[in-house]
């Protein structure tokens, strides 16, 4: 793990201390303690993030970048401080390369639209993997539909890893863009992203990394990865909804025209001419999500205040323990068995629909997800319409795995 994200004041990892930071974890559902195992969909929020939002509205709220008055300057300072925190968190060279978006989906749409409009035409190729979330598929399909671009797919092996030989073979002189997940939200597979970026660059293509899941668990250093773009959302990183981040290399971003126009993103607007502001503001048209941006800064502060190696080890222990206990239940098939995976387990139970399984488990107070996880290509790959999915955060405990296994066992008996 990179030292850059562990501050000197980092506290050692202690799951009980972490849990105490998350008010919602002490509530009950159906009269039972909440066991929240739907973290890959959205994580719960620590008190410091909740306070950052309310204190913005209580004390320092005004529109940013526009006012000459005290409050506006203060809000602008906090907003830009949050950008700097995110910059440091992903080790971007400059703050200009950190664009606040509405989320990862918004960030990927920005790249597909702005970069795609001028750089991807008929017959040009975009490489995606079968592991991708729909957010990293549909914006590229638009370029296929509207401009005649060609989508090429990296297949998934039986254990949930990407087929790297097929990846290398997918390139051609027409390959313009490679858009890949760093960690699959559906299976948990962690892709060898640095190596894949190196290969793409050797072949002359740019790379967008979907770091929505990985940024929560793994250190991200965009300079070390050498990615051209990287996207993630605030709400999976213990931060608020409605805010996300697009990192882009400065020269690439500066070569792109904005796809959304409005206030804040221009230098001059005349009757017959416009000139654009410099990055990042060129891509931040309109009033941004101010409190949410400040709170994503608080989320980054929170995550970096904890020993992330300790948190990751803890999550990996939960993953190993849950995997072992689930494997002892004969009716369960785990999809995605590579050892290179994060703390996500997708599974199906023979003879029962994932929705039914998850509904029964919910009654035990255990929140998990069922469905295609916005990743239909990988569901098709494994011949299932849907899976149930448990996903761990650093605040989950071993006894919560036991509660889940008990609930899963009852669900299996129920549908036998």
Where on the chain is the footprint of ligand PLP (CB under 6 A)? 103-105, 133, 135-136, 181, 185, 210, 212-213, 233, 235
Q: Which is nearer to ligand PLP, 185 or 304 (CB)?
A: 185
For tokens 């709220």, name the residue. Answer: 61
H helix runs in 148-192, sequence order? 164-170
CB of 197 to ligand PLP, least distance (A): 17
Q: Which is nearer to ligand PLP, 216 or 298 (CB)?
A: 216
Q: Please report, for residues 70, 94, 275, 314, the alpha-carbon distance to residue 232 in angstroms, rounded to integers and kept in the order given.
A: 32, 18, 29, 23
CB of 80 to ligand PLP, least distance (A): 23
CB of 239 to ligand PLP, least distance (A): 11
Of 345, 348, 364, 361, residue with least CA distance to 411: 361
Q: What is the DSSP letter of 136?
A: G
Q: Which is nearer to ligand PLP, 179 or 318 (CB)?
A: 179
Two tokens, residue 413: 């008996």
Of 246, 244, 202, residue with least CA distance to 228: 246
CB of 133 to ligand PLP, least distance (A): 4
Contacts of 169 (CB under 8 A, 6+ apart): none
CB of 128 to ligand PLP, least distance (A): 12
CB of 134 to ligand PLP, least distance (A): 8
29 backbone φψ class: left, alpha, beta (φ>0; ψ -120 to 50): beta
Q: Which is nearer to ligand PLP, 279 or 375 (CB)?
A: 375
Contacts of 237 (CB under 8 A, 6+ apart): 43, 215, 216, 296, 299, 300, 303
For tokens 């502001």, name the residue. Answer: 277
**CA–CA dist 337, 345 (Å, integer):** 9
Contacts of 362 (CB under 8 A, 6+ apart): 368
The helix or strand, by DSSP H or E, that contains position 267, with its residue range, turns out to be strand 266-269
CB of 250 to ligand PLP, least distance (A): 24
Q: Which is nearer to ligand PLP, 180 or 206 (CB)?
A: 180
CB of 350 to ligand PLP, least distance (A): 27
Q: Which is nearer to ligand PLP, 127 or 364 (CB)?
A: 127
Q: Please report, for residues 36, 139, 270, the alpha-carbon distance to residue 24 in angstroms, rounded to integers and kept in the order given.
A: 10, 35, 51
Active site residue 212: no
Q: Which is nearer to ligand PLP, 133 or 308 (CB)?
A: 133
**CA–CA dist 203, 197 (Å, integer):** 10
| Rg (alpha carbons) of the chain, rounded to whole number | 22
Check: CB of residue 215 under 8 Å from CB of residue 232. yes
Judged by DSSP in three states, 206 sits in strand
Using the CB atoms, write b or e for 181-209: b if 16+ within 10 Å: bbbbbbbbbbbbbeebbebbeeeebbbbb
User: Choosing from 6, 164, 374, 384, which is the catalytic residue?
Assistant: 374
Q: Which is nearer to ligand PLP, 133 or 381 (CB)?
A: 133
Return the active site residues. 374
């Amino acid at each position: 793990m990179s030292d850059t994200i562990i501050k000197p004041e980092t506290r050692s990892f202690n799951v009980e201390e972490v849990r105490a930071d998350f008010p919602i974890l002490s509530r009950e559902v159906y009269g039972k303690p909440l066991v929240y195992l739907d973290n890959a969909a959205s994580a719960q929020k620590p008190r410091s993030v909740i306070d950052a939002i309310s204190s913005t509205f209580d004390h320092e709220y005004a529109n940013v970048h526009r006012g000459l008055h005290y409050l506006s300057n203060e809000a602008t300072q906090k907003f830009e401080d949050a950008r700097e925190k995110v910059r440091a968190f992903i080790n971007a060279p400059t703050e200009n390369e950190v664009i606040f978006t509405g989320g990862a989906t918004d960030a990927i749409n920005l790249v597909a639209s702005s970069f795609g409009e001028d750089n991807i035409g008929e017959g040009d190729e975009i490489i995606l993997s079968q592991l991708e979330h729909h957010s990293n598929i549909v914006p590229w399909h638009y370029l296929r539909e509207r401009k005649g671009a060609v989508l090429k797919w990296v297949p998934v092996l039986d254990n949930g890893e990407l087929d790297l030989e097929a990846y290398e073979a997918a390139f051609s002189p027409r390959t313009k863009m490679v858009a890949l997940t760093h960690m699959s939200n559906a299976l948990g597979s962690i892709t060898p992203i640095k190596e894949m970026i190196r290969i793409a660059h050797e072949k002359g293509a740019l790379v967008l990394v979907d770091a929505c899941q990985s940024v929560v668990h793994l250190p991200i250093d965009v300079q070390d990865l050498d990615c051209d773009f990287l996207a993630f959302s605030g709400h999976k990183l213990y931060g608020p909804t409605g805010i996300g981040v697009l990192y882009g290399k400065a020269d690439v971003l500066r070569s792109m025209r904005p796809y959304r126009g409005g206030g804040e993103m221009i230098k001059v607007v005349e009757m017959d001419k416009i000139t654009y502001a410099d990055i990042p503001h060129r891509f931040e048209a309109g009033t941004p999500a101010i409190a949410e941006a400040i709170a994503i800064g608080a989320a980054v502060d929170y995550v970096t205040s904890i020993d992330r190696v300790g948190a990751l080890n803890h999550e990996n222990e939960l993953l190993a323990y849950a995997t072992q206990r689930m494997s002892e239940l004969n009716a369960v098939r785990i999809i995605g068995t590579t050892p290179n995976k994060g703390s996500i387990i997708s599974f199906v139970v023979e003879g029962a629909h994932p929705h039914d399984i998850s509904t029964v488990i919910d009654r035990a107070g255990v929140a998990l997800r069922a469905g295609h996880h916005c990743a239909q290509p990988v569901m098709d790959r494994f011949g299932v319409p849907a899976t149930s999915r448990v996903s761990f955060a650093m605040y989950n405990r071993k006894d919560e795995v036991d509660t889940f296994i008990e609930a899963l066992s009852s669900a299996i008996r129920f549908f036998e």
